[in-house]
Chains A and B, each alone.
Chain A
Amino acid sequence: MRSKILSVIALSTLFLIVKCGNGSPPDTAVNTSTKEDKGIGQFKDVNLTHPLDEGMVSKGEGIYKAQCFACHKLTTEKLVGPGWKGVTDRRAPEWIMNFVTNTNVMLDSDLVAQQLMVICVARMPNQNVSNENARNVLEFMRKNDGKN
């Protein structure tokens, strides 16, 4: 008897509390953002070199294996965060470097970064990557995307 009363109390309170409906997140900005979007941070104009600087690629790969790959795969598959394949086609180099070095500000203010966070249900912590290493990581991403 007592347990019945308890369950009725629990259920009725619940109906009062749970009333939030989660629709799917509007991901328009993630898909339609152009490569002109440079994000927020100190990088306004990144010079890309052709062909790729293999020295930077291998340094970037080292950073990736140490600090990134617990959450990011090199394919298109999402792990904790998005997979890196194609990232240099989707985003401007400036956006990538600003995001890597200025993570918290970007996640608080940049629309695309925020929507990625909602899709991933996870907030990327600041990785304290230096400017130089952020550039190395970008070079490694370009290599991963088959750029030359």
Chain B
Amino acid sequence: MKNKNFWISLSLLNLFIVTVLGVILRSKAVFDLPAIDYNHLLNAHSHFAFGGWVTLALMALMVNAFASSKGGGLRKPYPFVFWSIFITTWGLLFTVPFSGYNTLSNYISTLFIFATYIFSWLFIRDIRKAKLSKTVILLSVASVICLVLSSVGPFTLAYLFATKSLNAVLYRDALFSYLHLQYNGFFTLAVFALLFQKIESKLPSSAQKNVYRFSLLLVSSILPSMFLSYHWQDPGILIHIIAYSGSILVMLSFIWFLFVLRAMMQLYRSISPIIRFLGVLSISAFMLKTFLQSFTIFNFVGNLVFGDRPVIMAFLHLVFLGFVTIFLLAYFAQTGVLNTEKTFTRFALVVFTLGILVNEALLWTQGIDAMFIQGSDLFPWLLWGAGIWLFAGAALIGIARIKNAPGLANETQKGKIKDSYSSPALDV
């Protein structure tokens, strides 16, 4: 692939598909759509969001930023891996909604997982040769290790479905372990690896130490905090101790993040308003996520949360859309993949981001209402509207990317990614 932003464009196309599936899911709650199996489509929606959008985008950015060849292009085997990711996620898109998990979709899903293994192996091999700070290496290597570990979840679930034994504890543990290692592991660590690679050198050396300590705390919290998902089922004392230490490590990383945040504020003035807006939202979502996560240590919170579907949905979308997706969009904007000098692009970004906020506000309201045994007929309709809003926003971002694409081809030929920290042109 000559144009290394090709994969970013495909991932944005996939983001759009994710919102289409989201709209159909939300429609099913308010209209009669008997032909559609909700849970099959839900699985397709989440598979595609994880694989087609975030995994593909993060991998492409990580390779671009950390492991691209001297000429700036992709090293040889990566396009093969990215094609495998792309084709398998599209394969699941065309099988899972109709038949759920059957032999074919399990097969494709396994291929997808193998593609992530190959990526991880290549990436760890290459990153050792790259000139990067120890912070970035720590975060990105830990990130892909989490990606590999997370695959235990789907394999366990596949086993459970194949044997038709929906063992309660194992089912939930497999699901939550997978989600944890993807969200708090792979996604979160990759996001910070990408962020710190961009900004670390611009920070004073005292702040760089805090960045490293924060990263160390964050990485060391991943495995113990996974036990927060098991803890509330009241297992043995050992699980409790590990869960408590996980909660404390998450809280400590939260506190250290405040130091990092203070240092990052110095860079605030040098970035354009739209990226400030996205950055502030993404970091707020991360902080809220971290805060909430450490609080599931309390049993009553766990009990409230794990049975309350709107709250689970709100939390999943907070991390997925609020933190990771907005970060990715900010990164695209900062590196010129999305050209924010154009009013249309800024408009698209604002529409989509406001859609995320509205969606979150609705889900939290619905979830908290449910805790107090309150409800309203309006929620399914409002959520349907929010789904269409997000769909429109993703479509606008896709159009903005298509409009911007020719200019980018020239840029990448020079082997440079625009870094507009030093570009005053972006300040409106």
Is there contact, CB below 8 Å, between B375 and A62?
Answer: yes
**Docked pose: A138 CA to B43 CA in angstroms:** 30
Q: Let me know if B303 and A128 touch, CB within 8 A.
A: yes
- Total number of A-B contacts with CB less than 8 angstroms? 105
B106 interfacial by beta-carbon distance below 8 Å = yes
Contact A3 B80 (CB under 8 A): yes
A80 touches B76 (CB 8 A): no
B419 beta carbon closer than 8 Å to chain A: no
Which of A2, A104, A125 has a CB less than 8 Å from the CB of B77? A2
Choose one: A2, A69, A107, A108; the contact of B76 (CB below 8 Å): A2
Interface centre among A7, A66, A77 (most CB of B within 10 A): A66
How many residues of chain A have a CB within 8 Å of chain B? Answer: 43
In the complex, which residues of chain B have a beta carbon less than 8 angstroms from the beta carbon of A79?
28-29, 38
Q: Give the most central of B28, B32, B172, B370: most A CB within 10 Å.
A: B370
Q: Bound state CA distance, A117 and B303, in angstroms?
A: 21
Residue of B nearest to A79 (CB): B38
Q: Does A131 contact B (CB under 8 A)?
A: no
29 A-B pairs (CB sep. < 8 Å): A2-B76, A10-B114, A10-B115, A14-B107, A14-B111, A18-B103, A18-B107, A20-B103, A25-B164, A65-B376, A66-B374, A66-B375, A67-B373, A67-B375, A69-B380, A70-B309, A70-B310, A70-B313, A73-B29, A77-B32, A77-B33, A77-B34, A78-B38, A80-B309, A108-B168, A114-B166, A117-B166, A123-B166, A127-B307
Q: Which residues of B contact A (CB under 8 A)?
A: 28-29, 32-34, 37-40, 42-43, 76-77, 80, 100-103, 106-107, 110-111, 114-115, 118, 158-159, 161-162, 164, 166, 168, 171-172, 303, 306-307, 309-310, 313, 366, 369-370, 372-377, 380
Contacts of B43 in A (CB 8 A): 121
Q: Please indicate the chain B residues that have their CB under 8 angstroms from the CB of A77 in the complex.
A: 28, 32-34
Interface residues, chain A, with chain B CB atoms under 8 Å away: 2-3, 6-7, 10, 13-14, 17-18, 20-22, 25, 62-67, 69-71, 73, 75, 77-80, 104, 107-108, 114, 117-118, 120-123, 125-128, 133
Q: Check B110–A7 contact: CB distance below 8 A.
A: no
**Beyond A3-B80, A62-B373, A107-B168: 5 further Cβ-contacts under 8 Å?**
A14-B114, A21-B162, A64-B375, A77-B28, A77-B32
Name which residue of chain A comes closest to B38, CB basis: A79
The smallest C-beta distance from A26 to any residue of chain B, in angstroms, reads 9
In the docked arrangement, what's the CA distance between A36 and B173, Å?
Answer: 35
Q: How far is the CA of A95 from the CA of B158 in the complex (A)?
A: 30
Contact indicator A125/B307 (Cβ below 8 Å): yes
Question: Would A104 and B375 count as touching, CB distance under 8 A?
Answer: no
Chain A residue, CB-CB nearest to B39: A121
Answer whether A3 and B77 are a contact pair too, CB < 8 Å, given A79-B38, A118-B166: yes
- The answer to whether A20 touches B106 (Cβ under 8 A) is yes
